[in-house]
Amino acid sequence: MIDETAQAIAQHLKQARFVLLIPGTNPDGDSVSSVCAIRLYLEAARIPVAIFCPTPVQQNLAFLPGVETIQNNPALLTDPAVDTIIVCDAGDLRYAGLADTLATRRTRPTIINIDHHASNEHFGDFNLVNPSAAATTEVIYEFFKAVNFPLTEDIATCLLTGIMTDTEHFSNAATTVSAMDMASDLITRGARLHVIRKQTQNNKPVALLKLWGIALARLYYQPRHDSVVTYLFQKDYEHYGLAENEVNGISNFLNNLGEGKYTLFLKETTDGQIKGSLRTTRDDVDVAELAKQFGGGGHQKAAGFMIPGRLEETARGVRMALELYKKRPITLY
C-alpha cells in the first residue's frame, strides 16, 4: 500500500505547478528535516517549491540543508499559484495551521499528508502515513526507495536528523530494527552523523539548563492519576532570554523517572496557549489517548496537545485556566 501511494504521489507531483511544504507550528527536528528533504527532491525534479512555517525554526537545526529557505509569509497559504500542499509530521489540519486557510481559498489545492503518528486523521487527498515508522523521515525514506530516487549526502543528512531526534538518538521506544537499518544506510550514503549529534544533542546553553533546573524543582507526584507533573510559565524562559522554541528536551528527559505511569510537562506559549507534552515508558499506558482529551494526539508513548489558556500555580501544584472551557480551571492534583 505504501508503494502504491508513493507512486501515485510521484505521478501527481510531476504535474504540479507550485508545491508548498508545511511542517506545522513549532516544528521539531523530524518536521523540519522532512520538509527540507522533500524540497531537495522537488528541486532535483525542477518542480517549483517553497516551505512555509508560521513560527521560527529552532536554532540548533540551522545546519540542515535548505533550512534557510523556510519562509513565514502567510500569503503563501493563499497564493493561487499553489496547487499542491505537502504537510509533514502533522496529525490534523489544525496542527498544520491549515484548517481555516483552506476554507478561504477559491480553489482547494491537492493535499499530500506524510506522517507517522497513529492519531493522524488522514486528511489528505494522498495519505502516506505509517504509524510503525520511527519518524516521518523514515516514511519519506521509504517513499524515495519506492520511486527509485537516489539519495544525496544532503538528503541523507536530513533524513537521519529526523530519525535521531524522534528516537532521542536511538534511546526511546520508537527505536526499531528498521530505524537502525535506515540509519546505517544513510550514514553509508554520506549523512553527517557527527554534525547531527553535536547540533541536536551536545549543544545546550547554560541558560537552558538553568531553566531545566526550574522545571525539575517544580516536579511533583500526582497520586490521583499516578503521574508526575511539571510546568514552565512564559516569564520563566523569557527571564533567561530564551525563545519559546528553544525550550525543548525536558519532556523526553523526564522519561528517566522511575515514579508514575506517565509524565506531563506544561508550558505557556507566547500566543496565549498551553502546550502539554506527555511521555511514558510503560507498555500498558497510551498517552495519545490522554492527549486526545485536549484535542491533541501522537504516539502511545509520546504525545502532546495545544490548547488556549494560561497556567495558574497553587499551593499543591498547577492548574490550567482554559479559554476553551470558559476559564473553568482544570486542576492537576
| Cβ–Cβ < 8 Å for 84, 13 | yes
pLDDT at 320: 66
Listed by start position, the domains of the chain span: 2-200, 206-331
| Three-state DSSP state, 318 | strand
What is the DSSP annotation of 251-314?
HHHGGG--SSSEEEEEEE-TTSEEEEEEE---TT--HHHHHHTTT-EE-SSEEEEEEEEEEEE-
Residue 38: in which H helix or E strand, if any? helix 29-44
How many angstroms from the chain centroid is the CA of residue 207? Answer: 23
What is the DSSP annotation of 64-95?
STTGGGEE--THHHH-TT--EEEEES-SSHHH
- Ramachandran class of 316: left when φ > 0, alpha when ψ lies in -120 to 50, beta otherwise: alpha
- Count CA within 13 A, CB hemisphere, residue 81: 10
What's the pLDDT tens digit per position in 195-238? 999 999 888 899 999 999 999 999 999 888 899 999 999 999 99
| Cβ–Cβ < 8 Å for 260, 229 | no
Opening angle at CA 296, ends 292 and 302, nearest 5: 90
Q: What's the one-letter identity of residue 263?
A: T
| Cβ–Cβ < 8 Å for 53, 27 | yes
Backbone angles phi, psi at 308, to 5 degrees: -65, 135
The DSSP symbol for 232 reads E
Cell matching residue 58: 529552532
| Cβ–Cβ < 8 Å for 266, 318 | yes
pLDDT at 1: 60
What is the DSSP annotation of 149-215?
PPPPHHHHHHHHHHHHHHTTTTTSTT--HHHHHHHHHHHHTT--HHHHHHHHTS---HHHHHHHHHH
pLDDT at 172: 82
d(CA 21, CA 173): 28
pLDDT at 2: 72
Cell matching residue 184: 546505517
Query: What would be the CATH architecture of the domain defined by 206-331?
Result: Roll (3.10)
Nearest to 2 by CA among 183, 127, 118, 92: 127
Determine whether domain 2-200 maps to CATH 3.90.1640.10.
yes
pTM: 0.84
| Three-state DSSP state, 222 | strand
Q: What's the one-letter identity of residue 110?
A: T
How many angstroms from the chain centroid is the CA of residue 208? Answer: 20
Longest dimension (CA), the chain: 60
Q: Could you say which residues of the chain have pLDDT below 50?
A: 323-333
